[in-house]
Amino acid sequence: MVKLDQSDHHWVLTLSPNRSANWAQTKLLVSIVASLVLIISIAWAFIGAWFVLPFAGIEVGLLWFISYRVSLYTYQQQVITITDASIKLQSGTYRPQKDWVFDRNYTHVALIEAQGSFDCIQMSLIDDTRRVVFGEFLNQADRIIALKYIKALPVTVLSDKWWQA
């Protein structure tokens, strides 16, 4: 999801991944699957195949862990704040955990165009000393929207296929 807020000489571009389910919905799904696995494994244990129980526990634990990690990944966010003098990139989950500040006059957005239909464009902020990639978690449609917003802002965008522009 891409959102642009602007005021006089101040722009804030917020990037976050699409979220198909929030944490409450994910917990509900894991609970339903865990209940079904528990019922089936107890039925097998009553028949005499008690060795199914540890594997059922491992299955539910692994499902919970993977669901938690995926859900946590969908809550990350990047915020790009552009002012007259600087470009600030903040990145983190729930709160800013990393931030970079660039001088706007010496910074540009490097664009690497998609090579094929299954490839995505890549964007990064570059100055004289560092390169920071942003928007990696966006799908291709959201990356194109973000690029459209960035091109409308007072930031230089340089493409790797500059001769086609």
pLDDT in tens, 8-60: 889 999 999 988 899 999 999 999 999 999 999 999 999 988 899 999 999 99
Q: 81: closest CA among 138, 136, 7?
A: 7
Q: What is the arithmetic mean of pLDDT over 142-158? A: 92
C-alpha distances out from residue 89 to 15, 81, 104, 140, Å: 11, 6, 12, 20
Q: What is the arithmetic mean of pLDDT over 58-73? A: 94
Task: Identify the pLDDT of residue 82.
Answer: 94
Q: 76: closest CA among 56, 60, 90?
A: 90
Q: What DSSP string runs through 64-89?
A: HHHHHHHHHHTTEEEEEEE-SSEEEE
165 pLDDT band, cuts 50/70/90, is: low
Strands annotated E in 16-153: 76-82, 86-93, 98-103, 108-112, 122-126, 131-134
Chain segment 125-141, per-residue pLDDT in tens: 999 999 999 999 999 99
Least confident among 8-12, 79-83, 160-164? 160-164
The strand pair at 76-82 and 108-112 is best described as unpaired
**Token pair belonging to 142:** 């959201």
Q: What is the arithmetic mean of pLDDT over 154-163? A: 85
Contact by Cβ (8 Å): 92, 79: no
β-bridge mates for residue 89, sequence order? 80, 100
Three-state DSSP class for residue 115: coil
Task: Identify the pLDDT of residue 19.
Answer: 87
Domains, the chain, in order of start with CATH, read: 2-19+74-164 (2.30.29), 23-73 (no CATH)
The strand pair at 108-112 and 98-103 is best described as unpaired
Task: Identify the pLDDT of residue 114.
Answer: 85
Q: 80: closest CA among 144, 114, 123, 121?
A: 123
Chain segment 83-124, per-residue pLDDT in tens: 989 999 999 998 889 999 999 999 999 999 888 888 899 999
